[in-house]
Amino acid sequence: MISRENPARIAEIVGHVPVTGPSGVDAAVRRADAERRDWSALPVSARADILRERGETLAARQEELATLLARESGKPLADCRGEIGFALAYLRWVCDHAPRVLASSEVDDEAGRLVVSREPYGVVGCVTPWNAPVILALLKLAPALVAGNTVVLKPSPLAPLAVGEVAAALPVVFAVHGGAETGRALAGHPLVRKVAFTGGDVAGREIAANAGAMLTPSVMELGGNDPAVFLPDFSLTTADYERLVMASFATSGQVCMAAKRLYVPRGRAAEFAEAYVAAAERVLVTGDPLTPGVSMGPVVSAAAADRIRALVVASADRGGTAVPLGRVAPGHDPDAGYFVTPVLVTDLDDAAPLVAEEQFGPAVPLLVYDTEEEVLARANAGELGLGASVWSPDEERAFALAGRLEAGFVFVNTHNRTGMSLRAPFGGVKRSGYGREYGEEGLLEYVQTKVVHAPAAFRPGGQGMAPGAYPGTG
């Protein structure tokens, strides 16, 4: 049995889920496989109507689900409301666009008759993380289901409760729970025809290896060490600075696409730091996630808290200066949970672990640069390439630099979720994964192309072709 504690009040158990062993995973996959033919036989529009109706049922439970999510994850309640609302908006987007995107096409002309259709894979295995469990699950469930697949979902044991409720409300979704053993059994099951994963590099490698052993295709959305590059002409308003602070510290910095490295021209670094710290004082309030006005809760676990504190200590040992950020909510007891003081760290070199590694927590380095070519090389350093951002009032200049950054998604004059769009495909390059979510590409990840072709030469009245001949050469 998995018992999930409240990371803001570690003495409080929020709920329990049973552990699913390999035999239970096998049973869930076989149930999904048994139902896939009936589900896929429905027209896309019919599947979309069913999912849209289930989404409205979930929308009526938004406050209940948001409170549960806040208690199990440590994310502020307002953030949890936003996540669930955004996830349901994505579900509606998928339902609205799927009939067009997934439609078959047919050509009947002098070259022959060609039908290209979009067919579901069958059973899709989804392994999802704890930091945004509802939206990161819906990014897989919604397109997979509307495309005609059935799904077996394994949420993270650190946040299994709210997403479990969402899964239970959707058709042909079967939830399994557990850790690495459960994930291995799911990704490597012979009846799973596609695997979708969001999470860290270590787990991603293992899931991909298990899927690859069965020649099962996969979608991998992995970590990032996102640079935010401020060009010398950057001009930020008060609201821009506040948005930038939250781009790094929303969900206590535990977001794959958070702004994790801030690159500022040397001559403007003091000005930037002063305005950034002032913005954090206004918008960054640490406390219990259920307390109104709190914008940053605890990190997810004791291990996460220890790791972040160790990174800050290591930074100080390398000559870095940690500037505490924001305020503490009145009456808040930081010892009640896994709370970590948010900090901006200055005076670090690029080899410092806080710079070179994905910190995934409430500590962000401020780095200075002298030339555009220099900052480009430094921003592109490392094996990760998920997101990045460029800030400048000159949009053409910003887009020109963005085109040279090694990242799958580059924001301009914003960063993190304020720069997302339901129509814009999201995913990484390099070691940040492959495949895409959101947009039409996110829908097409869950279908295979099927072709039926009658060449003109072999239709009634056709002239045929010589044995062994190549088409189009005569």
Task: Give the pLDDT band of residue 466 (cuts 50, 70, 90).
Answer: confident
Residue 145 CA to its chain's centroid (Å): 18
Mean pLDDT over the full length of the chain: 96
Q: Please tell me the distance from the alpha carbon of residue 344 to that of residue 246, in angstroms, as a whole number.
A: 13
Q: What pLDDT, in 10s, does the model give residues 61-116? A: 999 999 999 999 999 999 999 999 999 999 999 999 999 999 999 999 999 999 99
Residue 109 CA to its chain's centroid (Å): 43
Least confident of 91-95, 199-203, 268-272, 282-286: 199-203
Q: Which residues pair with 276 in a beta bridge?
A: none
What confidence score (pLDDT) does residue 316 get? 95
221 labelled catalytic: yes
Report, as an integer, the average pLDDT of 457-465.
89
What confidence score (pLDDT) does residue 465 get? 87
358 labelled catalytic: no
Task: Give the pLDDT band of residue 237 (cuts 50, 70, 90).
Answer: very high
What confidence score (pLDDT) does residue 201 get? 87
Catalytic residue among 95, 256, 406, 437: 256
| Residue 120: pLDDT over 90 | yes
Q: Please tell me the distance from the alpha carbon of residue 238 to that of residue 275, in angstroms, as a whole number.
A: 8
What confidence score (pLDDT) does residue 250 get? 96
Q: Please tell me the distance from the alpha carbon of residue 241 to that of residue 21, in angstroms, as a whole number.
A: 47
pTM (2 d.p.):
0.95
Percent of the chain with pLDDT over 70: 100
Task: Give the pLDDT band of residue 473 (cuts 50, 70, 90).
Answer: confident
What confidence score (pLDDT) does residue 472 get? 77
Least confident of 67-81, 215-229, 459-473: 459-473
Q: Please tell me the distance from the alpha carbon of residue 290 to that of residue 267, in angstroms, as a whole number.
A: 41
Q: Please tell me the distance from the alpha carbon of residue 373 to that of residue 400, in angstroms, as a whole number.
A: 12
Q: Please tell me the distance from the alpha carbon of residue 366 to that of residue 244, in angstroms, as a whole number.
A: 13
* Residue (of 100, 101, 63) closest to 82 by Cα position: 63
What confidence score (pLDDT) does residue 66 get? 98
What does the block give as tokens for 420? 């997302």
Measure the CA angle with vertex 392, ends 86 and 231; round to 5°: 120
Q: Please tell me the distance from the alpha carbon of residue 312 to that of residue 318, in angstroms, as a whole number.
A: 10
Catalytic residue among 221, 358, 437, 445: 221
Q: What pLDDT, in 10s, does the model give residues 154-194? A: 999 999 999 999 999 999 999 999 999 999 999 999 999 99
Q: Please tell me the distance from the alpha carbon of residue 128 to that of residue 126, in angstroms, as a whole number.
A: 6
| Residue 474: pLDDT over 70 | no
